[in-house]
Structure 1
């Protein structure tokens, strides 16, 4: 990288140049916007169309483009793409400017600009070290000299913001400089403001600015090989010189033989309104594969295709207007660190750990198409396979926010769109093994079997879970023979709590299936809330109960939904059903406690199902002889002598049945005395009726 001081200049190639305006990501610092102005030899712009900014991302000539914003490595960057070869003859200079909102340029940390070749080779850089109270800066300019182009570091500040900068170059509206930091209007009048040409300073290559290091430069495309990955990384394929071809209308392109077999990036620009299609051809010139098709103004794109080793690479272009086609190595892909913005088709390289890619696409329904692909080249890839193994993750139309999985990098992500978009990479935090055992948090992605260690062996623990299911999901615990037993399922919701290690086991293995992201956290018992009175909640939960044996009433608080399923778990791991609510009618069951007077109470319910629990005194159970009746789960005291009674069941749902259980003095269910309607030997004492419908106990005739 050639770093130049303010006022000095350096030559740059006459061709494609990528420019990054970069600043540090610091809380409270002003936000920066980058823009470009195309200036004539008279020192003025020709109109509002000569301003290129995020809100006006393409110049009408196609020579300058705002490529969006990227975020990563503690920095932000806004990208401009210039094609100096296609800059119109009437344009003498291309200015690179920055303006800020919410502060002054002197408060912007680490502001600098860098120019790079398409293959990420650094060309020039300039760091701003003397900014003050200005709110806009002319950072630098690309200007013609002796048939070529040079870059000069300018560093001129404007206290009156971008309005003052734009006015200096003739961009005014109704005689007043137009503040165009957000992109400005589609057109503006031009006043003949004359700006003398900047003096050409002697060439110089001073030391880099104080405090500057390579590691804190542009977070993307900063050093050779550091934009897309390490130099010589096999997944980037072979490096080669960029091939470029231009035309107008239909044309055939023979790609030179120095392009090696394997994946590559095809970049396409089409000027003006009209149709363009590019096909890769077979040996007999028949259409073999459609690469890209578009019918929109000033279309440009990047996509991944491949060069085969068994035949030359040829393209058939069908177009209405002027076009530019480039063949680039994979190293020219835009690196994706955290967040990036763009327009149209583009290719990114993600080198982080597995995670999610979030696409925000503000398009119009039934009009603006989008798609997201990923591609992972490997040493076994056969370049002669007709189609690349791109994985389509999502596509559609309109204003959407879509999340797709990203595998461990390196992986290329291809965005296909005909409008603007933003992508965000969110790596999954994986916590397993010793770290998980210390923290009690287990986190990963996808189906897995994980060993969870009890932080307090000899006691049960509470498991807090969050899963993102792919479809129906199950979470099971495995015994020593790998036989699975249900722990969680769809009806328990995708987040909540349940009891783990009911017998105080030292560890257990858990298998998760049908999930994307998941997190398991062991909750200390002292963080589990007490069930000391009525309580309301939503989803699956766990409570601690301390006291005498009692009854527990449960009901759903929403119409048309099934209620929660409630169980009690004893310190020795034994558990029993308390009650199952069905709708808003209270369902009452026995709250069995140990002789020490405590238990854990689990509530199983999907999120979005509100419920209410209320402990009741044990002696509130209704009493009677052969004349007891009710509806739903209930606890009753049979005061008559033990006798054969007729168990009646009046529910219309054939999937429902009825059970009658005898309870001991601690309200523990000890024996099932009836399993369905009909005659049953019903003892005296406390009984638990389990059903959703009407029931009655009557004397046998």
Structure 2
């Protein structure tokens, strides 16, 4: 990994990359939220859509996306907030993509081991920059990608702001009426069984870092240290009655391919549900299948026949092996594997378009659906198993209709709703 001093730059490949802003979790340290700003030739955003952050997770061009946070471990371990960007898809009018961060609950001088890491989609290192001079700043421009002689370069910036994300955004041309309300990161629910995971990349050499007003020596943290021994417990993903099966957390990942390919997901993803999000354009069909322990296709998780697909579905991570998927489309596709906390949640009404996965949080009632489309409209409900020793999950087909429909179905309580269709839909709850 190329370690950059402040102000240095280096060329980066014009392809899809992952960016992790990382820090150490210690008692009393602020939480950190990462964001990206897409700037034109004059160094300004063209509108509010050019800011990508926790409340606006994707740029309209699809070139930059906020993936969310890795789950922190014990105090002193590493946490990270992730961006995905495809430099080849950045619009020609955009000259720079700025990677910034804001601190919630205190200044960056109280955030130990703050750094930014650039990697390819396989986790291969591209660039690393450690921020060693933070004091009273509540926002930081950590680095930026900028065009240079037909390609792209990354620069380590390290410029702080005392006015938070609102002040930083205003400096780049975004009109902010009031400081954005702080939104805490998703809560961490420890997996019910220990998971061994290798670090995503070798750590750079020990560097100088200023933290808590003292000059300390530290090695940049690994995002996934080896798991320590944990008390013996149930190995089934839903066996813990105190764990919320809809809120487990892990490092998001992005996979790209073309045609039919087998995707081997991160072994560190804990057993239970994972959200799958796929994009493909101008393909006759797009499918995702789960695979058995031998790598053979097993169950269809998604079947989409629209020309342009931006769909969500769910996969069940086995308790004894990594999740393996078979993805097929006629054109290039992008698959994101995300914690279920990224799914939309509702308890009274919700609406969407085509294939989606949502979490119903309400009590027993009746779901009233309206669908405007031509093909099948299906709704499956996934719930934790009633008999964990025998089943991995419970599934029930609530709706199976064709075309434009108004249909009602009873719902026994909270669960995942996997919706398959080709048009806009609405759902309201009657109790």
Q: TM-score, normalised by structure 2?
A: 0.55
Check whether the contact 2:343–2:359 (CA below 8 A) recurs between aligned residues: no
RMSD: 4.4
The match for 2:248 is none
Inter-partner Cα distance in structure 2 for 1:134 and 1:51: 20
Check whether the contact 2:278–2:309 (CA below 8 A) recurs between aligned residues: no
The match for 1:595 is none
Check whether the contact 1:271–1:297 (CA below 8 A) recurs between aligned residues: yes
Match of 1:213 among 219, 223, 235: 219
Higher Cα Rg, which structure? 1
The match for 1:137 is 140
Q: What is the CA-CA distance between 1:155 and the residue it aligns to?
A: 0.6
Check whether the contact 2:383–2:415 (CA below 8 A) recurs between aligned residues: no
Check whether the contact 2:30–2:110 (CA below 8 A) recurs between aligned residues: yes
5+ unaligned residues in a row in structure 2: which ranges?
Answer: 184-203, 210-216, 227-254, 266-275, 290-296, 316-322, 345-357, 370-378, 385-390, 397-410, 421-431
The match for 1:60 is 60
Inter-partner Cα distance in structure 2 for 1:137 and 1:40: 20
Higher RCO structure, 1 or 2 (CA under 8 Å, sep 6+): 2
Residue 126 to residue 297, structure 1, CA distance change in 2 (3 Å): same
Q: What is the CA-CA distance between 1:217 and the residue it aligns to?
A: 3.2
The match for 1:343 is 342
The match for 1:628 is none
Q: What is the CA-CA distance between 1:342 and the residue it aligns to?
A: 5.1
Q: TM-score, normalised by structure 1?
A: 0.36
State the aligned residue count: 289
Deviations 1:653-689 (A, max 9, x none): xxxxxxxxxxxxxxxxxxxxxxxxxxxxxxxxxxxxx
Partner-residue secondary structure (3-state), 2:218: coil
Inter-partner Cα distance in structure 1 for 2:25 and 2:71: 8
Match of 1:170 among 170, 173, 176: 173
Check whether the contact 1:105–1:136 (CA below 8 A) recurs between aligned residues: yes
Match of 2:302 among 292, 303, 306: 292
Q: What is the CA-CA distance between 1:129 and the residue it aligns to?
A: 0.6
Inter-partner Cα distance in structure 2 for 1:134 and 1:343: 29
Q: What is the CA-CA distance between 1:72 and the residue it aligns to?
A: 3.2
Residue 316 to residue 76, structure 1, CA distance change in 2 (3 Å): closer
Inter-partner Cα distance in structure 2 for 1:220 and 1:301: 29
Inter-partner Cα distance in structure 2 for 1:36 and 1:135: 16
Deviations 1:458-491 (A, max 9, x none): xxxxxxxxxxxxxxxxxxxxxxxxxxxxxxxxxx
Partner-residue secondary structure (3-state), 1:72: coil
Q: What is the CA-CA distance between 1:393 and the residue it aligns to?
A: 2.6
1:99 aligns with 2:102: yes
Q: What is the CA-CA distance between 1:244 and the residue it aligns to?
A: 3.4
The match for 1:269 is 279
Inter-partner Cα distance in structure 2 for 1:95 and 1:399: 44
Q: What is the CA-CA distance between 1:343 and the residue it aligns to?
A: 2.7
Inter-partner Cα distance in structure 1 for 2:94 and 2:303: 31
Residue 33 to residue 7, structure 1, CA distance change in 2 (3 Å): same
Inter-partner Cα distance in structure 2 for 1:333 and 1:136: 29
Inter-partner Cα distance in structure 2 for 1:326 and 1:41: 29
Partner-residue secondary structure (3-state), 2:145: strand
Partner-residue secondary structure (3-state), 2:70: strand
The match for 2:230 is none
Partner-residue secondary structure (3-state), 2:42: coil
